[in-house]
Amino acid sequence: MEGIRIIEVKESIFEDNNRDAENLRCQLKEEKTFLLNLMSSPGSGKTSTLLALAEELKRRGNPLRWAVMEADIDSTVDAQTIENAGIPSIQIHTGGMCHLDADMTRQGLTELKKRMSAEEDPQTDLVILENVGNLVCPAEFDTGAVKNMTILSVPEGHDKPLKYPLMYETCHLLVVNKIDVEPYFDFDREKLVEFARKRNPDIEIIFISAKTGEGIDKLVDWLTAQTEDWIR
């Protein structure tokens, strides 16, 4: 295994990010790649959810060819962890920026293609972009992803949709993580669902524990169906 590929993305030159994001989605459709934008607070379990996904996909005989782009302000901790689990991965450094836009995502995808050329089969059906841990700014910028997913972990509390409305409005899937520690927190599932649906009546919700693996099968079902629907 070679060292982690790090790309320092540059600030976008495009004035109209929304149009640029649409262009990127068209390109992804042509290339038959489903891009998922994964967002959450710091420490909600984005990387450990990816590791749990890897395990369940492996158990199913790897039906998807997939790769991961890890975005962080600094460090290569996450990309290294993902590579160690056997998933091709690159690290995107945002240089202090609190989010990714479509052009920065495109820069990452270009670098990912170089990384994939080292693989026997360089095609990716699914690319997961782990965005910067932040509930505010990433929600404001369309990355060009086909779908947006956010993770809320039980210890953060069920009131988050009230405080970070845009994150819930822009996400297609809400994954509630760390349900294994639910007995130790004052967490109200019904209220969470009520608050999340208030922001976004169409949001899908899956409860998981990345640690114990509970619910991961549902998440893999969702991801597989979404990817197949996009690339067929």
Pairwise CA distance, residues 224 & 219, whole Å: 9
Q: Please, what is the minimum distance in Å from the beta carbon of residue 49 to a copy of itself?
A: 13
Pairwise CA distance, residues 75 & 191, whole Å: 36
Determine how many CB atoms are found less than 10 A away from the CB of residue 74: 10
Q: Please, what is the minimum distance in Å from the beta carbon of residue 217 to a copy of itself?
A: 23
Determine how many CB atoms are found less than 10 A away from the CB of residue 38: 27
DSSP state of 133: S
- Residue (122 or 165) nearer to a copy of itself, CB: 165
Q: Please, what is the minimum distance in Å from the beta carbon of residue 33 to a copy of itself?
A: 27
Residue 174, Ramachandran bin (φ over 0: left; ψ between -120 and 50: alpha; else beta): beta
- Residue (25 or 160) nearer to a copy of itself, CB: 160
- Residue (122 or 157) nearer to a copy of itself, CB: 157
Q: Please, what is the minimum distance in Å from the beta carbon of residue 68 to a copy of itself?
A: 16
Residues engaged in binding a copy of itself (CB under 8 A): 41-43, 72-75, 77, 96, 98, 132-137, 140, 153, 155-157, 159-160, 162-166, 178, 180-181, 184-185
